[in-house]
Amino acid sequence: MKYILCLGLLGFAIAPSEAAAQDFDEFEDSPKKKKKDSLKDKRQVREIERGLYAKSNVGGAFYILDLKEWLKPGTILGLSVGQDFVDRESVSMAWEVGFFQGVHNGTYFDVQAQMGCIELGTCVQGDTRTYSLFSAVEWSRYPSKRIGIGGRIGGGLMFSPLLMDEEFYIDEVVKTWGGYSSSRHDGTYPMGLGGVGIEYYTKLSHFSVGLDVDAFYAVGFDLGSNASGYFKYTF
């Protein structure tokens, strides 16, 4: 009787510890915990953000055909917004809409006349600003986790308003040009563009920097090219 009582007490003492150990093991291997660990690992691997973004460009531009004689290489400033609609580890695609302003110093209107701009039909007012509205589609491939290389194609509208007083332009400039008035400051011009770019995603996952190089053609204005560095924030 004495031995039976001792065995019973020993079994009672051991049983809770075994149950507790079993419960702990079950908790460790539970599907809920595995899912949580999986999501945690995924967050650790994904160190960059893609999605809706805002982008600011600063760089330079120049003209290649008719206006290269009269407009010097100048500066461009751009603001755009876009969104990645394809987001894979090695490939992404995005749409983008933006606005660019170009500023160019130009040859004096009377010097242009002396150099034959009237006969060529390429006269411009001199110092010139251009404004461009565009939309584009971009495709990028990622040879490494933080570097993307790709290209884009798009189109839009360009216009170059008259900067000087209109009365002075008519009385002095057009008179100097023998009655010729430059059509490049009238209306808007349809524009096509295409280019390549490289992007680097910084350790701050929402921020990236890059370089865009584009060629553009504004029908009735001229063929040009620009290169600009940019800063991008992805929300």
Which pLDDT band, with edges at 50, 70 and 90, does 14 fall under?
Answer: very low
Gap between the Cα atoms of 125 and 122, Å rounded: 10
**Rounded distance between C-alpha atoms, residue 155 and residue 96, angstroms:** 11
**C-alpha dihedral (145, 150, 154, 158), degrees to nearest 10:** 90
Ordered DSSP codes for 60-81: EEEE-SGGGGTB--EEEEEEEE
What confidence score (pLDDT) does residue 170 get? 92
First to last CA, the chain: 76
The model's pTM is 0.76
pLDDT band at 145 (very low <50, low <70, confident <90, very high): confident
**Residue 187, Ramachandran bin (φ over 0: left; ψ between -120 and 50: alpha; else beta):** left
pLDDT tens for residues 31-71? 555 555 544 444 445 578 889 999 999 999 999 999 999 99
The predicted pLDDT at position 234 comes to 94
Contact 198/212 with Cβ under 8 angstroms? no
24-38, 129-143, 192-206: which has the minimum mean pLDDT? 24-38
**pLDDT above 50 (res 10):** no
Q: How far apart are CA 186 and CA 174, in angstroms?
A: 14
Q: What amino acid is encoded at 218 in this protein?
A: A
Residue 70 burial by Cβ neighbours in a 10 Å radius (0-12, 13-18, 19+): buried
Contact 87, 151 (CB under 8 A): no
Residue 147: pLDDT above 60?
Answer: yes
* b/e code 28-58 from CB counts within 10 Å (16+ = b): eeeeeeeeeeeeeeeeeeeebbbeebebebe
Report the pLDDT value the prediction gives residue 42, as an integer from 0 to 100: 46
